[in-house]
């Protein structure tokens, strides 16, 4: 059932977007844990990343998502937890049972890769990319031996803009950049801006 559902979802994503991966910095077939960090424009973001990963890597790659959205029950919860095996974290820290960083580190220790959205929320503004929250830095410090791979998702915001219910078919690209890690003694702000620049550099629509 989950296999069928994941096939249906990725096939639908392909029909709609003809999504094409661009491996600009990593070898997709290498079997290793990674933290993919991407720009966040739509609920379909991790579906696209997931669709272009090789099937073997896909089964071991878990999107990190907000529990408030994905634990609402019904189809949404089935897709979020059963099909995509998401790592759900409490975005609202009050009453959070677990430290999200510890949750993510535990998943990495279990051999899984993660997909995270360091902006913390969907970017519904006209800005290319929001400022990063500090979570990615703390995760990088917690597991300094894991590669952080920037992933730019191109065009998906036009497929399903804010407030729209029906997606329209447009070609999308998912661009994987060169991996980065924290360097010794690097401060939070320096790392966050380095990671953000690495992601922005992948955007093909840059001016200038």
Task: Write out the residues near other proteins by the rule CB under 8 A.
Answer: 18, 20, 155, 158, 161-162, 164, 166, 168-171
Question: Based on CB atoms, which residue is closest to other proteins, 111 or 204?
Answer: 204
Question: Based on CB atoms, which residue is closest to other proteins, 144 or 169?
Answer: 169
154: left (phi over 0), alpha (psi -120 to 50) or beta: beta
How far is the C-alpha of 114 from the C-alpha of 120, rounded, in Å?
Answer: 15
Question: Based on CB atoms, which residue is closest to other proteins, 89 or 160?
Answer: 160
3-state secondary structure of 78: helix
What totals of helices (H) and strands (E) does the chain contain, helices first?
9, 7
| CB within 8 Å of 194: residues ≥ 6 apart | 180, 186
Least gap, CB of 145 to other proteins (angstroms): 35
User: Which of 19, 24, 20 minimizes the C-alpha distance to 199?
Assistant: 24
Least gap, CB of 23 to other proteins (angstroms): 14
Least gap, CB of 129 to other proteins (angstroms): 17
Question: Based on CB atoms, which residue is closest to other proteins, 54 or 204?
Answer: 204
Least gap, CB of 117 to other proteins (angstroms): 20
């Amino acid at each position: 059932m989950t296999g069928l559902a994941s096939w249906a979802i990725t096939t639908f994503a392909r029909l709609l977007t003809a999504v094409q991966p661009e491996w600009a910095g990593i070898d997709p077939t290498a079997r290793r844990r990674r933290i993919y960090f991407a720009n966040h424009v739509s609920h379909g973001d991790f579906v696209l990343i997931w669709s272009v990963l090789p099937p073997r890597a896909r089964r071991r790659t878990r999107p990190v998502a907000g529990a408030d959205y994905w634990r609402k029950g019904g189809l949404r919860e089935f897709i979020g937890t059963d099909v995509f095996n998401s790592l759900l974290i409490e975005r609202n820290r009050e009453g959070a049972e677990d430290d999200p960083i510890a949750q993510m580190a535990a998943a990495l220790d279990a051999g899984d890769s993660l997909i995270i959205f360091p902006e913390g929320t969907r970017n519904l503004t006209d800005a290319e990319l929001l400022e990063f929250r500090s979570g990615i830095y703390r995760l990088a410090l917690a597991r300094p031996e894991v590669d952080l791979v920037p992933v730019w998702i191109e065009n998906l915001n036009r497929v399903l803009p804010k407030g729209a219910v029906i997606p329209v078919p447009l070609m999308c690209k998912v661009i994987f950049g060169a991996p980065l890690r924290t360097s010794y003694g690097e401060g939070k702000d320096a790392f966050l801006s380095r990671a953000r620049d690495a992601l922005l550099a992948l955007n093909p629509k840059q001016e200038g």
